[in-house]
């Protein structure tokens, strides 16, 4: 019994470590924030240092979607579709005031935050956030993934304890 | 004046036909490569979070609500900042202040950081220098409720470090002072936390002195 | 406000009494035209050697709910040979908002008419494809009408999405129909810069028909500006062409300043000119960098982005933000320039050329690049003008129109610079024009720096326009009162209307501003320079391969924020 849970926990931890240190981002950039996103991947900031090595434009190959820029109602269905195409586990970082809440566009064609249609893990405020701001958000996402794994493991352990005692 | 009716494309020179200029192009990349590998030049990358870009003292970052020497907020809940804000992201509720000299004070002062576009209009509008900005950009939230920053958080004392102040009304004579503080922090000769405490203590002393 | 004289009207005789009425006292020659004579007049204005209005700059609607004839369609025309402007206004009733389409006169009208239909519900008879342009397929109503609630949204569901199916003219009689394939690119595709959608019908490798769909970044700038005060519009203008925000700031502030009849102080004008040129360099760097990335030359992207980071540093030192600067205020600048402004500028002048010359050495004579770009998406000067082009792309087609030379503003009449012109009208020449303009911009900046920073304040000393200095606002009663009034009521701009233009990084950036004296803009219409470029994209793509199309889009430098506002 103990042996089994030890193995799964270790595998889970390994998996978490792998995931956490090699997240492939899918930039969903539409507007000014996308320009700042370019700065993050270019030489000055170089996001690859955090494992965001390969920028993938294909949803099938990416783990974290970075929504950079205003999402309008016209873009909404596309965003949702792309999110659905991403394989699990997946995360969403919402970069900038527009993606987070609509920003100062309280207007007839702007979605008031992408959380209307997709779940968001980290919100990064700013208009646009500075490159460091986005990196801070990315580091926060790492923390969150770690936390989530830890919680999942705990639940699992509790579960297996339960089932173990039930079997006994 | 007639406009040209047919485009006349660029004509290749002989050298270009022979791909010769490619060589000079390769030399450019080679030069950069050598430069980067053998470290003749310093690398451009900023090693965030250990290292930070030196933003100017005008940077428009997280807001700060400033305090009077007695620790209460300077803000008099006049709503000018909320009026000037294009994103309408400042929420204020005014209350009567016990001190008769001060008309009002904010019972609630919230900024919705996710709406804010960091334009600095609130700072320009404030007649009391009660709201200024820091050059702190490390912000991220896990849900929308926590992004509404309340007055207690806006008042956090880290913001009293002179080197961390951002966009605010300008007094040019301060520039030198702030630049000096920056240098000292960089050189490690100035401990900001201690300095902030010292200032805070001083302020309390003077307010106590004036009260007695 | 300058009052323009009305030009001689050699053509008025032909038209019925009262169908063409000049307006007195406008900022530029303005005629009120009845719609019955519009097509005839437009054709004559274009072809009459006395007028030669060959460039249709802008068409927009305006809504006046209180008038009998509620709508007004406003055309802004420009004559390149004569350097003159003309505004035509056509009043329309709410019951019958129909105009003849002017596509046959100026092809530029195509998308502009669709936009006017979308925003105001003005119909254009004879338009081949009068669909909504900016809003989405499930949208109802016409948002820029005054009775439309700014926050009223409509939700687009997947089943309502429009599915274009472009077919080449002439139908498919041949049996090569089996070779045909329709593909959809975008809207979320890196080559489409994230916000455009192209549906192309391919015959083998060649695009035979295509349709471009935009509106994925329509952020309602114009409606938003009607709900904010004059000063609050400035942050919104930043986000139009976000590669060169500063130029937008200048263009808007200049317009409002002209309406107010004030002049910013010399120091502000000086700094505006310098920073505009830096912004132009930045924009050209981004454009050329991305074009090269789209054609596979990734290295240049890093070289091109380096100067951009440096310029960001300068802008940030002036105003506190890198990209969305909001560095201008009506009447001057946001703040005093930083003490090391000149030193920083000089430093930039020394560092930028190195990066530019790296790219120059890598690309300009590189046969691989030349093969990808020479003759690709070529357009003649004549056609480009007819399609409403301005800016570097027009100059690449052999027409030397630059607002800085033709109608100098700020300090451009006091500096020496050339307008680079190339004859190819293709992707390569668009690239070369931009490279040459970077040089010219650097030289303009150098000349201005050599002249030295003018003395004086950074904003006008007028308490009705500019906030009083903070020290005064804290201590003096009078300043405090002005401060309150200015924040609470905003700047009071007298009623009037004006079209003001600057040379944006992409071409003529115009602001058509109408004030009704209420403290908020009544209507602001931006003349986005890349709008006509994008409208031509479909025409440029057809007949080329898909990879050419992608290089073309990069070279046009279409910025979605400005295109769709
Ligand atoms: S948050 Fe600001 S910078 Fe980002 S897309 Fe929106 S308007 Fe542009
Ligand atoms: S910075 Fe601008 S958007 Fe943010 S709270 Fe201040 S005025 Fe509002
Ligand atoms: S403008 Fe200043 S004093 Fe007035 S409510 Fe805002 S922060 Fe307080």
- Asked whether residue B78 is domain-assigned, the answer is yes
Q: Are residues C355 and C493 in the same domain?
A: yes
Q: Examine the pLDDT at C153 and tell me if it is beyond 50.
A: yes
- Asked whether residue B153 is domain-assigned, the answer is yes
Q: Examine the pLDDT at A167 and tell me if it is beyond 50.
A: no
Q: For residue B76, which atom of ligand 3 is closest to its CA?
A: 3
* Residue C308: alpha-carbon gap to chain centroid: 21
Q: Examine the pLDDT at C8 and tell me if it is beyond 50.
A: no
d(CA C492, CA C489): 8
Quickly count: other Cβ atoms within 10 Å of residue C386's Cβ.
20
A residues 13-42 lying closer than 8 A (beta carbon) to C: 28-32, 34-36, 38-39, 42
A23 or C175, which is more confident? Answer: A23
d(CA C348, CA C442): 9
Is CATH 3.40.50.12280 correct for A11-161? yes
Question: What is the DSSP code string of chain A?
Answer: -HHHHHHHHHHHHHHHHHHHH-PPEEEEE-SHHHHHHHHHHSTTT-GGGGT-------GGG-SEEEEES--BTTTHHHHHHHHHHSPSS-EEEEEHHHHHH-TT--STTB-S-GGGTS--SEEE-SSSPPHHHHHHHHHHHHHHHHHHHHHHHHHHHHHHHHHHHHH-
Minimal C-alpha gap between C302 and chain A (Å): 7
d(CA C354, CA C311): 14
State in Å, rounded, how far the first CA of chain A is from the last one: 12
Residue with tokens 């072809």: C47
- CB spacing of A104 vs B141 below 8 angstroms: no
∠ CA C38-C44-C48, nearest 5°, is 160
Residue B210's pLDDT is what?
42
Residue with tokens 């030192």: C317
CA of C49 to the centre of ligand 2 (A): 53
- Asked whether residue B104 is domain-assigned, the answer is yes
Tokens of B197: 């405490």
B43 in contact with C, Cβ within 8 Å: no
Q: Which residue's CA is minimally distant from atom 1 of ligand 2?
A: B118
Where residue B118 sits, what CATH number does that domain have? 3.30.70.3270
Q: Are residues C401 and C537 in the same domain?
A: yes
Longest dimension (CA), chain B: 91
Q: Which chains form contacts with chain B, at 3 or more CB pairs under 8 Å? A: A, C
pLDDT for C305-353, tens place per residue? 778 888 888 888 888 888 888 888 888 888 888 888 888 888 888 888 8
Total domain count, chain B? 1
pLDDT for C239-254, tens place per residue? 888 888 899 999 999 9
d(CA C282, CA C170): 44
Phi, psi (deg, nearest 5) at residue C160: -90, -5
Residue C545's pLDDT is what?
85
Q: For residue B123, which atom of ligand 2 is closest to its CA?
A: 6
Q: Which residue's CA is minimally distant from atom 8 of ligand 2?
A: B85
Query: Given phi > 0 = left and psi -120 to 50 = alpha, else beta, which region is A14?
Result: alpha
Residue B159's pLDDT is what?
46
- Asked whether residue C139 is domain-assigned, the answer is no
Q: What is the average per-residue pLDDT within A82-94?
A: 87
Residues of B with CB below 8 A from C483's CB?
127
Q: Examine the pLDDT at C98 and tell me if it is beyond 80.
A: yes
Tokens of B132: 């200024």
Total domain count, chain C? 2
Q: What is the dihedral of CA B53, B54, B58, B59, to 10 degrees?
A: 20
Q: Are residues C248 and C110 in the same domain?
A: no
User: Could you write out the three-class secondary structure of C419-459?
Assistant: CCCCCCCCHHHHHHHHHHHHHHHHHHHHHHHHHCCCCCCCE
C183 band by pLDDT with thresholds 50, 70 and 90? confident
Q: Examine the pLDDT at C10 and tell me if it is beyond 50.
A: yes
Helix (H, G, I), strand (E, B) or coil at C347: helix
The residue of B35, B48, B112 whose CB has the most chain A CBs within 10 angstroms, and thus the best one to mutate to test that interface, is: B48
- Asked whether residue B44 is domain-assigned, the answer is no
Q: What is the average per-residue pLDDT within C472-494?
A: 81
DSSP B141: B
pLDDT for C344-353, tens place per residue? 888 888 888 8
C residues 82-141 lying closer than 8 A (beta carbon) to A: 134-136, 139
A91 in contact with B, Cβ within 8 Å: no
Q: What average pLDDT does chain C have?
A: 84
Residues of A with CB below 8 A from C224's CB?
104-107
Q: For residue A105, which atom of ligand 1 is closest to its CA?
A: 7
Are C461 and C372 a contacting pair, CB within 8 Å?
A: no
Q: Which residues contact C27 (CB under 8 A, 6 or more apart)?
A: C1, C2, C3, C4, C258, C496, C497, C498, C499
Q: What is the average per-residue pLDDT within C450-478?
A: 80
B174 band by pLDDT with thresholds 50, 70 and 90? low
Q: Are residues C237 and C365 in the same domain?
A: yes
- Asked whether residue B30 is domain-assigned, the answer is no
- Domain span at residue C99? 10-125
* Number of residues in chain C: 565
- Asked whether residue B123 is domain-assigned, the answer is yes
Are B144 and A101 a contacting pair, CB within 8 Å?
A: yes
Q: State how far the alpha carbon of C33 is from the alpha carbons of B27, C3, C5, in Å.
A: 63, 20, 18
**Out of B70-79, C92-101, C184-193, C496-505, least confident range:** C184-193
d(CA B142, CA A93): 10
Q: Examine the pLDDT at A5 and tell me if it is beyond 80.
A: no
DSSP C5: P
Would you say the C-alpha torsion C557, C442, C502, C329 has a positive or negative sign?
positive
pLDDT for A100-146, tens place per residue? 888 888 888 888 888 888 889 889 988 888 888 888 888 888 888 88
Q: What is the average per-residue pLDDT within A84-88?
A: 85
Q: Which mutation among B84, B85, B111 tests ligand 2's pocket best, with the greatest number of atoms within 8 A of CB?
A: B85
Does the structure's ipTM exceed the value 0.95?
Answer: no
Residue B204's pLDDT is what?
47
- Closest Cβ opposite residue B45 in set A43, A115, A139: A43
Q: Examine the pLDDT at C49 and tell me if it is beyond 70.
A: yes
Q: State how far the alpha carbon of C182 is from the alpha carbons of C115, C192, C543, in Å.
A: 26, 17, 15
Phi, psi (deg, nearest 5) at residue B207: -65, -40
∠ CA B23-B27-B32, nearest 5°, is 150
Minimal C-alpha gap between C2 and chain B (Å): 28
Q: Examine the pLDDT at A16 and tell me if it is beyond 80.
A: no
Give burial (CB, 10 Å; 0-12/13-18/19+) of B179. Answer: middle
C449 in contact with B, Cβ within 8 Å: no
Residue B157's pLDDT is what?
53
Where residue C282 sits, what CATH number does that domain have? 1.10.645.10
Quickly count: other Cβ atoms within 10 Å of residue B31's Cβ.
12
Residues of B with CB below 8 A from C474's CB?
127-129
The residue of B43, B52, B115 whose CB has the most chain A CBs within 10 angstroms, and thus the best one to mutate to test that interface, is: B115
- CB spacing of A76 vs C156 below 8 angstroms: yes
Most confident of A4-8, B151-155, C410-414: C410-414
Instruction: Report the run of H or E that residue C46 belongs to, with start and end.
Output: helix C38-47
Q: For residue C324, which atom of ligand 1 is closest to its CA?
A: 3
Residue A166's pLDDT is what?
47
Residue at which a domain ends, from C125, C157, C182: C125
d(CA C148, CA A40): 40
User: Could you write out the three-class secondary structure of C482-539?
Assistant: HHHHHHHHCCCCCCEEEEEEEEECCEEEEEEEEECCCCCEEEEEEECCHHHHHHHHHH
- Asked whether residue B81 is domain-assigned, the answer is yes
Neighbour order of strands in the sheet with C20-22: C20-22, C30-33, C84-92, C71-79, C55-63
- Asked whether residue C194 is domain-assigned, the answer is no
Where residue C32 sits, what CATH number does that domain have? 3.30.460.80
**Out of B23-37, B182-196, C501-515, least confident range:** B182-196
- Asked whether residue B5 is domain-assigned, the answer is no
∠ CA C10-C14-C16, nearest 5°, is 125
**Out of B190-199, C103-112, C372-381, C477-486, least confident range:** B190-199
Residues of C with CB below 8 A from B56's CB?
316-317, 320, 338
Q: Which residue's CA is minimally distant from atom 4 of ligand 3?
A: B78
Q: What is the average per-residue pLDDT within B134-153?
A: 82
d(CA B12, CA C394): 22
**pTM of the predicted model, to two decimals?**
0.87
- CB spacing of C339 vs B124 below 8 angstroms: no
- Closest Cβ opposite residue A32 in set C218, C242, C302: C242
Are C527 and C76 a contacting pair, CB within 8 Å?
A: yes
- Asked whether residue C199 is domain-assigned, the answer is no
- CB spacing of A110 vs C216 below 8 angstroms: no
Residue C512's pLDDT is what?
92
- CB spacing of C219 vs A30 below 8 angstroms: no
* Residue of C396, C431, C39, C426 lying closest to B3 (CA atoms): C396
CA of C490 to the centre of ligand 1 (A): 25
């Amino acid at each position: 019994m103990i042996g089994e849970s030890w193995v799964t926990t270790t595998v889970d931890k390994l998996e978490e470590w792998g995931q956490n240190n090699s997240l492939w981002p899918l930039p969903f950039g539409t507007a000014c924030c996308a320009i700042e996103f370019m700065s993050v991947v270019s030489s000055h900031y170089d996001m690859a240092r955090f494992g965001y090595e390969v920028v993938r434009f294909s949803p099938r190959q990416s783990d974290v979607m970075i929504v950079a820029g205003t999402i309008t109602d016209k873009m909404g269905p596309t965003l949702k579709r792309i999110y659905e195409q991403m394989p699990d586990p997946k995360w969403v970082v919402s970069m900038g005031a527009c993606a987070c809440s609509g920003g100062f566009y309280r207007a007839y064609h702007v979605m008031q935050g992408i959380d209307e249609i997709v779940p968001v893990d980290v919100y990064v405020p700013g208009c646009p956030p500075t490159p460091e701001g986005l990196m801070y958000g990315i580091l926060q996402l790492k923390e969150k993934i770690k936390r989530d794994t830890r919680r999942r493991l705990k639940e699992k352990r509790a579960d297996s304890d339960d089932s173990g005692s039930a079997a006994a | 004046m007639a406009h040209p009716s047919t485009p006349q494309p660029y004509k290749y020179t002989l050298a270009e036909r022979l791909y010769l200029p490619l060589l000079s192009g390769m030399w450019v990349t080679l030069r950069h490569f050598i430069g980067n590998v053998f470290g003749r030049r310093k690398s451009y990358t900023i090693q965030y979070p250990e290292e930070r870009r030196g933003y100017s003292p005008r940077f428009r970052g997280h807001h700060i609500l400033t305090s009077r020497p007695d620790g209460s907020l300077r803000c008099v809940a006049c709503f000018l900042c909320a009026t000037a804000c294009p994103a309408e992201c400042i929420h204020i509720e005014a209350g009567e202040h016990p001190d008769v000299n001060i008309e009002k004070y904010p019972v609630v002062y919230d900024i919705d950081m996710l709406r804010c576009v960091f334009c600095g209009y609130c700072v320009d509008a404030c007649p009391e220098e009660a709201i200024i900005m820091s050059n702190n950009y490390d912000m991220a939230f896990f849900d929308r409720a926590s992004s509404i920053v309340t007055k207690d958080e806006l008042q956090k004392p880290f913001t009293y470090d002179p080197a961390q102040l951002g966009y605010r009304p300008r007094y040019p004579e301060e520039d030198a002072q702030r630049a000096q503080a920056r240098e000292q922090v960089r050189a490690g000769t100035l401990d900001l936390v201690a300095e902030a405490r010292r200032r805070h203590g001083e302020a309390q002393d003077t307010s106590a002195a004036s009260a007695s | 406000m300058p009052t323009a004289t009305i030009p001689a009207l050699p053509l008025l005789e032909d038209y019925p009494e009262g169908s063409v009425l000049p307006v007195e006292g406008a900022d530029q020659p303005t005629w009120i035209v009845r719609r019955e004579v519009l097509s005839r007049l437009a054709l004559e204005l274009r072809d009459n050697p006395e007028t030669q209005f060959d460039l249709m700059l802008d068409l927009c609607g305006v809504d006046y709910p209180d008038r009998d004839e509620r709508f007004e369609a406003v055309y802004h025309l420009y004559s390149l040979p004569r350097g003159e402007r003309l505004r035509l206004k056509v009043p329309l009733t709410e019951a019958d908002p129909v105009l003849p389409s002017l596509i046959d006169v100026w092809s530029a009208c195509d998308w502009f008419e669709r936009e006017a239909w979308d925003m105001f519900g003005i119909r254009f008879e004879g338009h081949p494809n009068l669909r909504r342009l900016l809003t989405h397929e499930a949208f109802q109503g016409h948002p820029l009408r005054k009775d439309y609630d700014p926050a009223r949204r409509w939700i687009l569901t997947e089943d309502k999405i429009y599915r274009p199916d472009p077919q080449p003219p002439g139908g498919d009689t041949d049996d090569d129909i089996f070779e045909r394939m329709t593909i959809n690119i975008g809207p979320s595709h890196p080559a489409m810069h994230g916000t455009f959608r192209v549906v192309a019908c391919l015959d083998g490798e060649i695009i035979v028909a295509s349709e471009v769909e935009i509106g994925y970044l329509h952020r309602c700038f114009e409606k938003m500006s009607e709900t904010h005060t004059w000063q609050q519009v400035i942050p919104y203008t930043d986000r139009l062409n976000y590669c060169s925000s500063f130029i937008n700031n200048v263009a808007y502030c200049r317009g409002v300043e002209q309406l107010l009849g004030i002049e910013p102080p010399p120091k502000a004008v000086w700094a505006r000119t310098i920073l505009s040129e830096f912004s132009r360099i930045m924009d050209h760097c981004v454009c050329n960098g991305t074009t090269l990335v789209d054609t596979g030359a990734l290295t240049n992207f890093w070289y091109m982005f380096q100067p951009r980071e440096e310029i960001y540093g300068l802008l940030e030192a002036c105003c506190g933000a890198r990209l969305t600067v909001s560095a201008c205020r009506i009447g001057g600048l946001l703040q005093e320039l930083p003490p090391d402004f000149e030193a920083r500028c000089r430093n930039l002048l020394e560092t930028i050329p190195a990066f530019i010359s790296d790219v120059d050495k890598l690309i300009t004579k590189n046969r691989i690049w030349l093969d990808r770009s020479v003759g690709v998406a070529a357009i003649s000067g004549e056609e480009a003008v007819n399609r409403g082009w301005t800016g570097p792309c027009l100059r690449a087609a052999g027409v030397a129109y630059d607002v800085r030379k033709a109608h100098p503003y700020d300090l451009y009449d006091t500096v020496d610079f050339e307008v680079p012109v190339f004859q190819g009208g293709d992707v390569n020449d668009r690239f070369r024009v931009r490279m040459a303009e970077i040089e010219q911009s650097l030289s303009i900046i150098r000349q201005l720096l050599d002249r030295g920073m003018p003395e004086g304040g950074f904003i006008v000393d007028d308490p009705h326009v500019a906030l009083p200095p903070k020290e005064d606002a804290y201590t003096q009663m009078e300043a405090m009162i002005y401060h309150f009034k200015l924040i609470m009521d905003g700047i009071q701009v007298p009623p009037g209307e004006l079209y003001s233009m600057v040379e944006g990084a992409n071409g003529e950036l115009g602001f058509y501003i109408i004030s009704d004296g209420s403290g908020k803009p009544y209507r602001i219409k931006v003349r986005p320079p890349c709008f006509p470029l994008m409208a031509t994209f479909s025409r440029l793509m057809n007949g080329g391969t898909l990879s050419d199309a992608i290089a073309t889009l990069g070279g046009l430098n279409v910025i979605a924020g400005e295109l769709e506002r």
